[in-house]
Structure formats: structure tokens, C-alpha cells
């Protein structure tokens, strides 16, 4: 299969210069032409050229201004740019290089030199892009491996406690939806900067009770409410969960998915008012993932049947979540919960068999 020609965008307000460059390049590349900066940006957005040859001295919007605008656009910021200029002074060259230009081509043009420089830059770009593809592919492989490992760890809780299988799946759905809603809240831009992070929270959610692998069966499987001593033992599972995750991922502590999972395991029983456990964290001291899980965990516990209680109706559970807004739960997370609450009865039907 014949390889597609590279695309070159030539930007110059002088017809003669454009004709010279077209004659030099057109036998080897697909050449696009713009006579001003505004048109150059419009064409570049449409065709996404592999290289831009950009005149410095143009009316209205000069080459430097055009390049600044391009560098501010995600779709164009990584396209290599050669400046075309009759200026040869060091100051002008420094300005262009500071803006990110990869080279200067002086006027009048030396056709063979232009062709050689373009060829070398495109080969460098091809190798760089290939390297980025390999890195992205390797990163994706590692992320998939980590995701499988974390999911497998989360499954351990299901083996220990038959009640938790449906609980894990249902709370995962709620955490994912809460993260999707809060992704649009400016206050959560840092914690949930992208859809990729939404997936991190969803992957981490099933690990919230991983610490229960360290709780004795007599307590974990007790078909009645726990007494005070048993509750004290059970309250150690967040710290146990954190330790399990930190130990299992020693070399990956800087990975955001691991950090989110560990934070959720440790802090999902903390309260917004500081009256939770194990550390008594308050307000925004509580990691965002743990705040999401806290709401999901309590809602699911309320609407699910347990050996010691019947399931409460959906509307009652929603009311209880609202009552705890600003005391047990982050107010913004409660608002996000209300935005998805009407979806939950239908969602729970998907896990009906696991509910009982």
C-alpha cells in the first residue's frame, strides 16, 4: 500500500514566494496555501498539516502572532513550524525559537536547501510520532494490567463475604456516575480532570472494602448486628485495606489509579463533619474518591436487604442522604447524587439477582 503524502501548509502574503515553494514541494508533498495568519489557522484546523512554513512579515497578523495562536490550540500546538523570513538577525531568530519554531528558512529561497530541511524535519517527526505511539501502547498495556490486578484484588472481598458481590457492582456504578457529574463542576477539575480519571474512580471503587479480608469470619459473616467490641474490630478494615493496596503495589504508588484506590479504601468511612473513622478527617481533607464512595456505600446499604434488616425504599434512602448533606457527606457530592438518583432503581434491576 502506497504511503500517503505528507501535508505541508505554506503561509506567505507574497504570491511569488508561494509559487516558488509550491514548485519546490508539490512533486513530493500535498501542499496547501494561505496568504494570511487567520486563513492559515482555518486551513490548519481542517487539514492538520505535518509541517507549516510560516512567513514572519505579514499584515494584520504576523507570523509570530499566528504561531502564538496555534500553540494555544490543542489540535495545532504540536505541528512543527519553519519560519520564512528575509530577516537574519539573532533577535528575530530568538523570538521564533522561543515560540517553538523548529527552524528558519531565509529568503530568497534555495530550493534544494528547502527540500532537504523539510525532508529531514518530516523524517524526525515520523520517528517521534512512532515513538509516541509505542509509548502510548505500552502505557495502555500497563494500565490494563494494573486494572486487571486491582479488579482481582477487589474480588477477594466477594469470596470472603457473599453479601458484598452485588454491593461492589452497584456502588461502582454509583461512583462512576457521581464522578461523571462532578467532572463538570469547576471545584473538582483537579481531582477529576478527564474522563480517564472517571474510569480510575470506577476501577478503584470495588476495592473500598478490600480490608475485610483481614476480618475474622465470625464477625464478617455474623447474621446480626455487631456488638461494640465487634464494631471496633470491623472499624479496622479501612486501614487494613489501605495497607493491602500499598503493599501489593509497592512500585506503583505514584500511579493515580492506585492512589485513588488506596484513598477510597482508607477514608470511605470518614465524615464531612470530622466525626468519621479511622482518622477523623474533615471536609476537603477527605479524598474525593472517598467522598463519592461514602454516599454510594450508605445508599446501597439502605436499599439492600441484610440478615438484620429489610431493604428501605429508594425514596426513603434518598431522603436519608439529603438529611446527611453537610454533616456526613460532602454537599457537592449529595447534589451530584440527586442529579442521578432517578436512574438508580432501574440500574439496580440489573443486579437484582445479586441483591438478595
Q: What share of residues in the chain are helix, strand, coil (percent, to 5)?
A: 60, 10, 30
> Is the pLDDT score of 352 beyond 50?
yes
At 292 the pLDDT is 98
Peptide bond into 159 cis (omega under 30): no
Q: State the cell numbers at 23.
A: 514548485
pLDDT band of 353, cuts 50, 70, 90: very low
* Chain segment 43-95, per-residue pLDDT in tens: 999 999 999 999 888 888 888 899 899 988 988 988 999 888 876 655 666 77
At 69 the pLDDT is 92
At 47 the pLDDT is 93
Q: Where in the chain is the domain with CATH 3.40.50.2300?
A: 7-109
CATH class of 7-109: alpha beta
* Chain segment 13-24, per-residue pLDDT in tens: 888 888 888 888
At 277 the pLDDT is 94
At 168 the pLDDT is 80
At 127 the pLDDT is 80
> Is the pLDDT score of 318 beyond 70?
yes
- Look at residue 354 and give its three-state secondary structure: helix
> Is the pLDDT score of 10 beyond 50?
yes
Tell me the backbone φ, ψ of residue 59, rounded to 5 degrees: -70, 160
Q: Where in the chain is the domain with CATH 1.10.3210.10?
A: 135-355
CA distance 335 to 181: 9
Architecture of domain 135-355 in this structure: Orthogonal Bundle (1.10)
Average pLDDT on 210-238 reads: 86
CA distance 40 to 42: 5
pTM listed for this prediction: 0.62
> What average pLDDT does the structure give for the chain?
85
* Chain segment 94-150, per-residue pLDDT in tens: 777 777 788 788 778 788 888 888 888 888 878 877 777 776 676 666 666 666 666
At 138 the pLDDT is 67
> Is the pLDDT score of 1 beyond 60?
no
Average pLDDT on 297-318 reads: 88
At 207 the pLDDT is 87
DSSP string, 32-53: EEESSHHHHHHHHHHH--SEEE
Structure-model confidence comparison of residues 98 and 282, the more confident one: 282
CA distance 10 to 173: 50
At 174 the pLDDT is 96
At 355 the pLDDT is 39
Q: Which residues of 145-162 are buried (b: 16+ CB within 10 A; e: fewer)?
A: ebbeebeebbeebbebbe
Amino acid at each position: 500500500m502506497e504511503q500517503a503524502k505528507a501535508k505541508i501548509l505554506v503561509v506567505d502574503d507574497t504570491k511569488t514566494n508561494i509559487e516558488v515553494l509550491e514548485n519546490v514541494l508539490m512533486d513530493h508533498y500535498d501542499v496547501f496555501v494561505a496568504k494570511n495568519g487567520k486563513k492559515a489557522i482555518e486551513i490548519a484546523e481542517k487539514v492538520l498539516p505535518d509541517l507549516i512554513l510560516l512567513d514572519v512579515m505579514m499584515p494584520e497578523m504576523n507570523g509570530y502572532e499566528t504561531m502564538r495562536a496555534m500553540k494555544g490550540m490543542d489540535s495545532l500546538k504540536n505541528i512543527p513550524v519553519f519560519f520564512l523570513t528575509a530577516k537574519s538577525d539573532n533577535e528575530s531568530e530568538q523570538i521564533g525559537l522561543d515560540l517553538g519554531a523548529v527552524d528558519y528558512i531565509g529568503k530568497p529561497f534555495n530550493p534544494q536547501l528547502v527540500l532537504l530541511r523539510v525532508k529531514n524535519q518530516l523524517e524526525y517527526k515520523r520517528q517521534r510520532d512512532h515513538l509516541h505511539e509505542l509509548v502510548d501502547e505500552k502505557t495502555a498495556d500497563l494500565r490494563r494490567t494494573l486494572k486487571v490486578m486491582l479488579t482481582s484484588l477487589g474480588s477477594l472481598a466477594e469470596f470472603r463475604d457473599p453479601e458484598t458481590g452485588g454491593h461492589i457492582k452497584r456502588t461502582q456504578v454509583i461512583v462512576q456516575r457521581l464522578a461523571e457529574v462532578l467532572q463538570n463542576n469547576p471545584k473538582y477539575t483537579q481531582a477529576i480532570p478527564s474522563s480517564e480519571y472517571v474510569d480510575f474512580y470506577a476501577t478503584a471503587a470495588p476495592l473500598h472494602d478490600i480490608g475485610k479480608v483481614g476480618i475474622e469470619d465470625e464477625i464478617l459473616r455474623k447474621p446480626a448486628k455487631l456488638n461494640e467490641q465487634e464494631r471496633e474490630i470491623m472499624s479496622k478494615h479501612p486501614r487494613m485495606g489501605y495497607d493491602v493496596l500499598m503493599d501489593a503495589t509497592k512500585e506503583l504508588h505514584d500511579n493515580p489509579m492506585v492512589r485513588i484506590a488506596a484513598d477510597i479504601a482508607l477514608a470511605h468511612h470518614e465524615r464531612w463533619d470530622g466525626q468519621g473513622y479511622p482518622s477523623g478527617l474533615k471536609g476537603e481533607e477527605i479524598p474525593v474518591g472517598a467522598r463519592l464512595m461514602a454516599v454510594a456505600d450508605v445508599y446501597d446499604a439502605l436499599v439492600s436487604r441484610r440478615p438484620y434488616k429489610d431493604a428501605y425504599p429508594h425514596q426513603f434512602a434518598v431522603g436519608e442522604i439529603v438529611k446527611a448533606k453537610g454533616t456526613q457527606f460532602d454537599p457537592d457530592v449529595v447534589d451530584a447524587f440527586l442529579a442521578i438518583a432517578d436512574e438508580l432503581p432501574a440500574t439496580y434491576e440489573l443486579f437484582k439477582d445479586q441483591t438478595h
